Structure 1
Amino acid sequence: MSKIIVFTDLHILPIGKTIIGLDPYARLAAGIDHATKIHPDADRIVCTGDLTHRGDADSYLRLAELLDRTHIPVSLLIGNHDSRETFLSCFPDVSVDPNGFVQSVLDVGDWRLVFLDTLNAPPYEFPETYSGYLCPARLEWLQGQLREAGDRPVLLFLHHPPHDIGFPGMDAIKLKNGPALYDVIGRFNCVKHLVAGHVHRTISGSHRGVPFNIFKSPCHQMPMNMDSMDVSLSVDEPAAYGILLTTPTGVLAHSEDYEIAIADVGTSHEALGAGAAAE
């Protein structure tokens, strides 16, 4: 069994900047520290895009500094709030595909992790480029990786959900060509699970027979308003990360609201009745 920690939608900003009064850097730092302490055996941390809020070098360098505090190796994806060019200038060792997209594969245990680059264009041209897109070159690369995977099970990571998730505003800026992605997936029998971000909520389900998970952000969350077209709404709900356990027969997914966990860990024995038993 392998363990993968998932952070998504980090939205790191320069020093002193906040989002609805929240400091994305401080919130992520607490999450990285928590995951490192509680899950020192994790095989990987995967960050599924929107690493920064404005795609600027200062924020990417702050993120690089923050990630140095964990011994767990990290894989980084980009999302619609990122700048591919600036990201690669700040993380020059990140793997890219032959066309320069931030796409790569990694074998962890018996599973193959495939990381996709769904960034449509430079950020801040809302709403068109807030959507994700996989151009023919990226889809062709994916097809080659799935063919090469053979019988090895694949866990697919990307920023934009490739299908509707029940929030009309976010559904309007999902992966624009999700059916094309699923057509590629359907040509093979190796993609067993899909992980996305973008929505700032914890969501699970399946689409065209493929189970998926989306996790909350370590910073701000999308309100649970399933009728709104407004994607700019944000609320201060507990920060979270995902925990994936790969097994010979599938994937187990957990979500850790680590701010709550930090506050409650001291009383967990009382909740289990240990205190009363001791008396």
Structure 2
Amino acid sequence: MKLLHFTDIHLTTPGETIGGRDPNANFRRALDHALGLHADAEALVITGDLSDWGDRADYVRLRERLNTLSIPVRLCIGNHDDRETFLSVFPEFADENGFVQHAFPLSRGVGLALDTWAPRTHEGRFCETRAAWLDARLAEADGPFWLFLHHNPTPTGVAPADSIMLKDADRLGEVVKRHAERLAHIFFGHCHIPLSGSFHGVPLSAPRGTNHAGFANFAESRLLTRSELPEAYSVVLAERDHVTVHMVEFRAEEALAVEGSPDWADWDRAEMSR
């Protein structure tokens, strides 16, 4: 099974930039790069901050672009989004309670997109109603299940980032613990830094995001840190006995050199380029 994971695309009014980068152009570049190499992916999942200001026009343009793609796309919302406005353009992603939550079939189990949005805050929330929805979905099948959400459920150790993490992580954790044997992986975004680890024994990961990049600045206690590191997305490769997640820095090709054979017989200390 192959999946594409984008996050924090932060679409803006055309012409507006963030940190000197054009989110709309970078989203197009990410799509062209990912689908050019991975047209066989089963799905593209975008884990939130779809719009930078929650503007309806951004969601309309996103819908128009996604309608041209040849693979299914699944969406979560993040702190920069607006749930009501999003659902006015993407009503199919609402659950029975009006949250942006849905299940989708995969060749290896089921994907679950979660809603961690809360109004007028950058921190994440996961209320009892949302947790009950997740608990019910996880009880419906043996899995494996693949969870997608925007906010990080685990602390990063970077104080400004942790001040806006998922504040109801304990509630999510109680559901995860009950069904840990069915859960294969948790994917998220929000932090704009590449992360990996585990949550109650379940592996998790996040790529940097398709536009502006953050940095794990452990010395800063109050403000988030922006960097000039490359934009990125993830490629997920999963089989019965393994999962591999690549973070692909899709605008780094000019810095690449194809050299260095993996074949031991080709290694020659005098002639190899190092």
Of 243, 246, 270, which residue of structure 1 is paired with 2:238?
246
SS of 1:5's equivalent in the other structure is strand
The structure-2 alpha-carbon separation of the partners of 1:23 and 1:214, relative to structure 1 and needing over 3 Å to count, comes to same
SS of 2:252's equivalent in the other structure is helix
Pairs within 5 Å for 1:75-154: 75-92=74-91, 94-121=92-119, 125=120, 129-149=121-141, 151-154=142-145
> Aligned partner of 2:158: which letter?
F
> Aligned partner of 1:14: which letter?
T
Pick which of 131-140 and 235-244 moved more: 235-244
Match of 2:72 in 1: 73
> Aligned partner of 1:82: which letter?
D
Following TM superposition, by how much is the alpha carbon of 1:247 offset from its aligned partner in structure 2, in angstroms?
A: 1.3
CA distance in 1, matches of 2:224, 2:161: 10
The structure-2 alpha-carbon separation of the partners of 1:271 and 1:63, relative to structure 1 and needing over 3 Å to count, comes to farther
> Aligned partner of 1:131: which letter?
E
Match of 1:194 in 2: 186
Indicate whether 1:34 and 2:30 are aligned.
no
The question of whether the paired residues in 1 share the 8 Å contact of 2:160 and 2:224 is answered with no
> Aligned partner of 1:30: which letter?
R
The question of whether the paired residues in 2 share the 8 Å contact of 1:33 and 1:70 is answered with no
CA-to-aligned-CA distance 1:221-244 (integer Å, 9 cap, x gap):
112312323444322321100011
Indicate whether 1:54 and 2:32 are aligned.
no
The question of whether the paired residues in 2 share the 8 Å contact of 1:10 and 1:28 is answered with yes
Q: State the TM-score, normalizing by the size of structure 2.
A: 0.91
CA distance in 2, matches of 1:58, 1:260: 30
SS of 1:246's equivalent in the other structure is strand
CA distance in 2, matches of 1:138, 1:187: 16
> Aligned partner of 1:34: which letter?
H
Following TM superposition, by how much is the alpha carbon of 1:91 offset from its aligned partner in structure 2, in angstroms?
A: 2.0
Unaligned residue ranges in structure 2 (runs of 5+): none
Indicate whether 1:163 and 2:162 are aligned.
no
Following TM superposition, by how much is the alpha carbon of 1:264 offset from its aligned partner in structure 2, in angstroms?
A: 4.8
CA-to-aligned-CA distance 1:49-91 (integer Å, 9 cap, x gap):
0001000011112222333443121101000000011111122
Number of corresponding residues: 264
CA distance in 2, matches of 1:232, 1:87: 26
Match of 2:19 in 1: 20
CA distance in 2, matches of 1:136, 1:31: 35
SS of 1:181's equivalent in the other structure is helix
Of 162, 182, 198, which residue of structure 1 is paired with 2:173?
182
CA distance in 1, matches of 2:221, 2:26: 27
SS of 1:193's equivalent in the other structure is strand
Q: State the TM-score, normalizing by the size of structure 1.
A: 0.89
CA distance in 2, matches of 1:186, 1:41: 33
The question of whether the paired residues in 2 share the 8 Å contact of 1:170 and 1:229 is answered with no
SS of 1:258's equivalent in the other structure is coil
CA distance in 1, matches of 2:251, 2:173: 36
Match of 1:4 in 2: 3
Following TM superposition, by how much is the alpha carbon of 1:105 offset from its aligned partner in structure 2, in angstroms?
A: 0.6
CA distance in 1, matches of 2:81, 2:239: 32
CA distance in 2, matches of 1:196, 1:24: 19
Of 242, 247, 254, which residue of structure 2 is paired with 1:255?
247
The question of whether the paired residues in 1 share the 8 Å contact of 2:5 and 2:47 is answered with yes
Of 212, 215, 226, which residue of structure 2 is paired with 1:220?
212
The structure-2 alpha-carbon separation of the partners of 1:250 and 1:183, relative to structure 1 and needing over 3 Å to count, comes to farther
Root-mean-square deviation (CA, aligned residues, Å) is 1.9
CA-to-aligned-CA distance 1:150-204 (integer Å, 9 cap, x gap):
x221111100111202211111111111011111111122112111110001111
Pick which of 139-148 and 215-224 moved more: 215-224
SS of 2:227's equivalent in the other structure is coil
CA distance in 1, matches of 2:18, 2:103: 33
> Aligned partner of 2:183: which letter?
V
